[in-house]
Amino acid sequence: MTFALLLIGLMMLGSAAWAMLGRNLIHSALLLIASWAGVAGFYLWAGAEFVAFAQVLVYVGAVSMVVLFAVLLTRQNQISATLIEPASRARAATGILTAACVGAIFGAAILSTGFHGAASAGPVSSVKRIGLELMHRNGAALLIVGVILTVALLGATVLAASDSKNSPEDLP
């Protein structure tokens, strides 16, 4: 069981690291999609099937499309030039150092805690229970998330729509 977890974790972390370090933006986006699929694999390993399928449907199926469209719509010049300019060394080094420090602090905190009441046989998760809990206790939150999604997507459409008055290439 732990071997499967290690394998899934390795795939997740490996593709995420390769994505963040890469030069080609499209390759980074696709590797990140692989990382999201790895996260869905982790959810399956933990027994949360509903969340795993929701992760694949939302992230791999929808957010990836939005990211790829955005990459294609904001290309500077030719098709081959979705390369990333080399970041300034100092900023990159500082960023990685900060992340490493944060990781070290979190790791130390995790390893020094003994979690009690852990390692149960595995919770039972049925879709019916999730549905009932969503509607009974979290009904208000569900409606608010619906409103958030509607407002966010309407706003995104308005932001990204081109204002035809200002673009010079539309003039005859």
Q: Which amino acid is at 79?
A: I
Segment 17-56, which members bind another protein (CB under 8 A)?
17, 19-20, 25-26, 28-30, 32-33, 35-36, 39, 42-43, 46-51, 53-56
Segment 134-153, which members bind another protein (CB under 8 A)?
134, 138, 141, 145, 148-149, 152-153
Question: Is residue 164 within the footprint of another protein (CB under 8 A)?
Answer: no
Least Å distance between CB 112 and another protein?
10
Segment 70-109, which members bind another protein (CB under 8 A)?
70-74, 76, 79-80, 84-85, 87-88, 91-96, 98-100, 102-103, 106-107
* 42-48 LR contacts (CB < 8 Å, sep 24+): 42/5, 42/8, 42/9, 42/12, 45/4, 45/5, 45/8, 47/122, 47/123, 47/125, 48/125
